[in-house]
Structure formats: structure tokens, C-alpha cells
Amino acid sequence: MDISPLLSGLNDAQRAAVAAPLAPTLVLAGAGSGKTRVLTHRVAWLVQVEQVSAHSILAVTFTNKAAGEMRSRIESMLHVPSAPLWIGTFHGIAHRLLRLHWRETNLPQAFQIMDADDQLRAIRKLLKARNMDEARWAPKEVMWFINARKDEGQRAGQLKDEGDPTRREFIRLYAAYQEQCDRSGIVDFAELLLRVYELLRNNPDMRAHYRRRFRHVLIDEFQDTNTIQYAWLKLLTSPDPETSPGGLPFAVGDDDQSIYRWRGARVENLHQFQRDYPGVQLFRLEQNYRSTGNILSAANALIANNSGRLGKNLWTSGEQGEPVRLYTAFNERDEADFVINQLRDWIDKGGRRDECAILYRSNAQSRTFEEALLSARIPYRVYGGLRFFERAEIKDALAYLRLIFHRADDASFERIVNLPTRGIGLKTLDTVRDYARANTCSMWEAAGACIAELGARAGSCLHAFLALIDLLDQQIRALPLFEQVDHVIHASGLLAHYRQERGDRGEARVENLNELVTAARNYEPDTEDAMPPLASFLAHAVLESGEQQADAWEDSVQMMSLHSAKGLEFPLVFLTGLEDGLFPHLRSLSDAEGLEEERRLCYVGTTRAMRQLYLTYAEQRRLHGQDNYAAPSRFIREIPPEFIEEVRPRIQISRPVYMPRGKAPAALREDTSAMGIQLGQRVRHGKFGEGVVVDIEGQGNHARVQVNFEQHGSAKWLMLTYANLEPV
């Protein structure tokens, strides 16, 4: 038998791991050292050399994409179809098992899976049915509680309230929620794993069957397994006195890349594994094949700041390469322009677009890059998250604006009529819909006409909604575009609604809504068309959410959060937004463990780069609707200067860039002073009274001023052309 293809392209340490005797194995090694490659070759080795039936191999990867890649690599090595092999993510494999064993686990054959949005909606409904106030029982928190318990393998019946009334209520909600899901044959993500775990635990025959079958369980990114996933692995691989000598797990991981602690991942599983499987063979890989010397040295120096590491020393025999480059941008748009220029350069020199990745800490950061890429006509794809204008909360806000602008927009009407909940039920909506259909009129008109027909309560709720939209319309008419957006997300109750949903998702939604204000503020219509700014902005948003995302097959720049970049590699990487408070995230600054997790995330980011790594940060950033002046991220300082080259001077930018406050160039000041307004000047506004001009931005028709109004108690931004300010 020719085993050369199975061991070629491997170094000695990798070869030793691939060809290791059949025993529990742990490969503990740093980024880019070939862990995933070893795992893939091990599968092929088992089949070809150890004569293990492909049928008895289960390989767990971190993403579906990784599963697909692994499958095709294995097929090309073995020259046989890999169909009998089970390769997938934990969730994918659990799903497959449930489809096979729906009966044994009391599910209907056509059971459905619900995503996080559906789950939240179900919890809301439940709270409502139980007359529980969402202000007191935040649906997000309930969801968080349920999922975390499921990830730990606990059912409501096993939980103790510990004398805490809130916890008692959460446990009751968990029980009621599960009952509701079971009744309708619906399974949430966490349930997939828990259900399969229970299936194997409670069913000795089935357990014995799968233990005999999956003798070889291989797991990539092992450092990020959570309690239930680990429990699953143990159930599958423990010996069965009568039927099975116990399975042979093969786990690969890197403690320095554990980045899902916040979602229940337990890096301790790396230690637990060594305790649970006596005689485990441990392999370490130290040669990095991915990155140049400079990139690797920068990453090594960074991660050395963490304590309690298992410790490893990565080296490369490759070239030193170009230094890591650091760009200090004025602001987020300058940062995006810089990135675009480097991308253009790369492409002009014959590089492919999909060799380039833009990485960020928070999904809200993607918007500025998306806009810059669109206007530069560079195709891109956003991974692991919807593009900005497609996110639910953004669509909600836009629906308000759309309805205000155009009352006959039925889709927008339906989207927000009861969001946030305002007592307008399905029955009321049915009546309105029927009326609209019978009279071929808009929902808006129908609603107005139906009020009298409805019961007193329903009628007054609907009336209140119509009045709200009319009022918003009046209130925002004279405001500049971004204040229109800002006012609507506040006064509609949308922001407060999402703010109540605690947890990471709720926070992200609030951040995104505020980011929409920033988008409006930076929005400049292409031409001086006669369209009101709001109409032009809404059209822009629709176009952006349309088909402009590159097709999967099109060569496009890759954009993703750092969390979804795990395991991937790109020749050119931009690690953006390196500001204290953004990355490391504000929440982690006061918490040593949190800070270490952020540093691991930064290590994951830097080690994605193969040939060239750019670090960027902005002196001023408008994010989530606020101006922030942050210090450069401490992670930049943790990289020794000999590996970093600062990019200076700043690039020539093709589009206007908003200067840091107080640094507005003379041209801007002259322009506005021609309209009789200067910084520090006292002015009077028809509605807000007197105040002092504290900031001026933009030019000509787009000039804006910020005025500190005494009566109003805060500073407001106004469009100079509409504001009719009088100097006093």
C-alpha cells in the first residue's frame, strides 16, 4: 500500500500525530501549526492504513464550511467517496441523529428547528400569555437563562431555585417554554445537543450501537467545546463492559485561541480530557506554516501577555516578510479609505480579492467598510452575520421612516404596527387587512376607516399608532436627516424596546440602531437631486440591502467578525478598530479574565494573516451614534516596535473626511462663516431658543452646526440651510 500521500506534506511532529497508535490523542498546538491538516490526514490514515471503516468515523469541525473543505481533502487523498464518513459541526451532527431517531425522542417526524429570532419570539409570546411584564422579565434574559442551562445539560425539573424568587420564575418559564416547544414539535439550537445527549444517556441499546459504530471521534477547535458537547463526547467514547472497549477520541486545539468562554465554552476541557482518558498521547506542534516571521513574532509577543497559558513556542522557517503595518486614521471613514486603497493596490498587482479579509470586533463596524467598498465597486461578502441594512432592527427603523414618508407602504405598516407591542392584535390586523382588500386601499387608509368598527380598546390602540406616525412626521420635518432618524428611533419606542432585551444580542441591536444615525449623518446624496434627504437615504438603504453582495462564486473581499474568522487564513488581513474600549471591548477592561479573552481574540486575528497584516485604529470614531476619542488599543503597544512599521503620512483621500473636532480646516470655517455663522457664536433658533455654536461640519448645503441650547439643556445638530439661525 502506498501511504506516501497520507504523510507527504507533513513535518515529523505532524507525521507522528497522524500515524499515532490507536489510543486517545490530544494535539495541543498554536495557530497555523497544521492542527486541522493533521486531523484531516488522520482520518485518511485511519481508513487507508488502519483499515478502519469510514462508517465508524465521526469528525467534528467548527463550521459547515470547514466540514466541506475537510470532506473534499479526504476524498482527494483517498480517491473514494467519503459519504459514509460523518463530518459536520456539533449542531449539524445532532440534527442528523435527531432526524434518524425522532421517534425515540418523542419528536414528530417533521420537527422544525428554530433560530434565535424565532426563539425570542416564542419566549415573548409565552410571557404575554402569562401576563408577565417584559420590562420586568426581559425576554432576552429568559432566553439566555434557558440556553445556558441547556448547554450545561440541565432540564427545568433538575434545577433548584436556591430560595431566589427570580430564579424560581425563570425555572418556571423554562419549563413552560419547553412544554410549548414540545407540543408544537420545535427544537431550538441548544435543544439539538441536549436532546441527543439525553437520547444516548437514556437509551442503553442506542448508546451501545453508537459506541460500537463511532469508535473514532475527531474534534477540531477542541478548546471551544462547552459542557454538553464534552459530555456527548464522553458518552460516545466511554467503554461499554459488554459491547465496546471504548472509543478513541482524537482532539486538536489551542488554549490560546479559546474565544467562546462567554458562550459557555470551557477551555478546562483540555485538562479534563487528559484526566478522563488515561494514557492519552499528547502531541505538540511548534512550526507555523501560515505566517511570515514578522507576523508570527508579533502574535507571539502579544499572547505572551496572558497568564496561565499551557505555553508553546511557535516558530517559522519561512521568510521574515514585510513588517506588520500600523495605520492611524483620523476617523472611521479615513480608516475605510485606507483599507480600500490597500485593497486596490493588491488587486492592481494581480492579487485576488478573496485573498483579502477585513476583520472587526463588532459587527456594527462593518457598515463603513461596506459603504466604502460599494462606492469603490469592489465586491465583498460579509460572513457570520447579516449585512448592516439587512438586520432586523435596522429594517424596523427604516420601516418607521418609510411609513412616515409614505403612508401607503403596507409592508412597513405591517412590520411595525405592533412593534414595540402596543396592543394591536392579529384580529385587529385581520379586520384592517380585509377592509383594505375590499376597498383596494392601503393598510393605513383602512386602519383609519376601521377604527370605529373595532372594539373600544383595539380601536384606541390603533388610533394611537396612527397618531404616533402623524406626530413623528410633524416633529421631524424641519430636522436634518440624522436627527430625523435619531428622533424616530427614540420616539417610536424602538430603541427602548431593544434596550430591554439584555444580553449580547440586545446590546448589539441598540448599537446597530445608533449606528444607523451615524450612517444618516455621514450620508451624502450622490447628486444635488430634488429628492428630500430622507427619501434619498431610504432609497440608498434599499439598494444597499439588495443584490449588491457578491455571489458566493464571485471573487470578493471577505469581511467578518474576529469570532467567525477562527480556523481561516488569508494572505492579506486588516485588523481594524484597534482602540481601547472597542477592542479590547469596554466590558472587558475592568475584568482580568475578560481582557485575556480579548487578547486571545486579537491573537486569533493576527494569526489569520499569511503574508501581510495591517492594524488600523481611528483617533475619532463615530460608532453607535456617538463620537468616541479612544486611545490606541493596548494590544498595539504589546507588540514590540521592531515588528511594526507606522504608515505615514496619511493617505490622500478622495472623499471628504470629517476632521477631528477643533481641527476643521480653514476652508470649512470660511464656507460656513460666509453664511454668517462661526464657532463660538451666539445664535437664536425659532424653536429651541438661544445657544452657542460649538461645532461646524460639512460644506455648502450639507453644512451642519452643533448648538448648545440653554433651554433645551443639550447640544443639537442642525442643518444650516434649514435651521434659520439668527446671530445674536
For 413-441, what is the HEC assignment? HHHHCCCCCCCCCHHHHHHHHHHHHHCCC
When the beta carbons of 282 and 411 are compared against Mg ion, the nearer one is 282
Q: Which of the residues 14, 25, 36, 365 is marked catalytic? A: 36
Is 14 known to be catalytic? no
Give me the residues paired with residue 188 across strands: 114
Query: Of residues 25, 36, 500, 576, which one binds Mg ion by CB under 5 A?
Result: 36
Query: Of residues 13, 25, 33, 335, which one binds ligand ATP by CB under 6 A?
Result: 33
Q: Which of the residues 134, 188, 191, 220 is marked catalytic? A: 220
Is 526 known to be catalytic? no
Nearest to 292 by CA among 572, 604, 38: 572
Binding mask 688-717 for Mg ion (x = CB under 5 A): ------------------------------
Tell me what percent of the chain is helix, strand and coil, each rounded to the nearest 5.
50, 15, 35
Q: Which stretch binds ligand ATP (CB under 6 A): 35-43, 192-200, 537-545, 548-556?
A: 35-43
Contact 250, 220 (CB under 8 A): no
Is 37 known to be catalytic? no
Give the shortest CB-37-to-Mg ion separation in angstroms: 8
Which one-letter DSSP state was computed for residue 579?
Answer: B
DSSP calls for 250-292: EEEE-GGG---GGGTB-TTHHHHHHHHSTT-EEEEE-B--SS-
Contact 232, 196 (CB under 8 A): yes
Distance CA(557)–CA(382), nearest Å, equals 9
- Scanning residues 281 to 340, which ones bind ligand ATP (CB under 6 A)? 289-290
Residue 14 binding partner per list Mg ion, ligand ATP, none, with a CB distance cut-off of 5 to 8 Å that depends on partner kind: ligand ATP
Query: Of residues 13, 14, 609, 677, which one binds ligand ATP by CB under 6 A?
Result: 14
Distance CA(676)–CA(674), nearest Å, equals 5
- Scanning residues 558 to 577, which ones bind Mg ion (CB under 5 A)? 567
Q: Which stretch binds ligand ATP (CB under 6 A): 9-17, 466-474, 548-556, 584-592?
A: 9-17
258 binds Mg ion (CB under 5 A): no
Nearest to 621 by CA among 518, 714, 535, 728: 518
Give me the residue label for grid cell 484597534.
Answer: 578
Q: Which residues are CB-neighbours of 674 under 8 A, at least 6 positions away?
A: none
32 binds Mg ion (CB under 5 A): no
* C-alpha separations of 450 from 431, 443, 456 in Å: 7, 10, 12
140 binds ligand ATP (CB under 6 A): no
Would the annotation count 36 as a binding residue?
Answer: yes
Residue type, 628: N
When the beta carbons of 401 and 602 are compared against Mg ion, the nearer one is 602
Alpha helices for 494-558 (secondary structure H) = 494-500, 503-522, 533-545
When the beta carbons of 358 and 609 are compared against ligand ATP, the nearer one is 609
Give me the residues paired with residue 691 across strands: 683, 709
When the beta carbons of 497 and 566 are compared against ligand ATP, the nearer one is 566
Is 36 known to be catalytic? yes
* Closest residue by beta carbon to Mg ion: 36
Give the shortest CB-88-to-ligand ATP separation in angstroms: 17
* C-alpha separations of 247 from 52, 211, 212, 234 in Å: 13, 7, 8, 9
When the beta carbons of 492 and 607 are compared against ligand ATP, the nearer one is 607
Q: Which stretch binds ligand ATP (CB under 6 A): 28-36, 235-243, 335-343, 388-396?
A: 28-36
Q: Which stretch binds ligand ATP (CB under 6 A): 7-15, 85-93, 660-668, 720-728?
A: 7-15
Is 2 known to be catalytic? no
**Angle separating helix axes 366-375 and 332-348, nearest 10 degrees:** 50
Q: Which residues are CB-neighbours of 657 under 8 A, at least 6 positions away?
A: 330, 331, 333, 334, 337
567 binds ligand ATP (CB under 6 A): yes
Residue type, 531: M
* Contacts for 709-715: CB closer than 8 Å, 24+ residues apart: 709/685, 712/688, 715/691
When the beta carbons of 35 and 150 are compared against Mg ion, the nearer one is 35
Binding mask 392-421 for Mg ion (x = CB under 5 A): ------------------------------
Give the shortest CB-252-to-ligand ATP separation in angstroms: 7
216 binds ligand ATP (CB under 6 A): no
36 binds ligand ATP (CB under 6 A): yes
13 binds ligand ATP (CB under 6 A): no
Q: Which stretch binds ligand ATP (CB under 6 A): 8-16, 133-141, 264-272, 634-642?
A: 8-16
Would the annotation count 35 as a binding residue?
Answer: yes
549 binds Mg ion (CB under 5 A): no
Distance CA(230)–CA(225), nearest Å, equals 6
Is 257 known to be catalytic? yes
Residues that bind ligand ATP (CB under 6 A): 9-11, 14, 29, 31-37, 254, 257, 289-290, 567, 569, 607
What are the residue numbers of the active site?
Answer: 35-36, 220-221, 257, 608
Residue ranges for the known binding site for ATP are 29-36
Residues that bind Mg ion (CB under 5 A): 35-36, 567
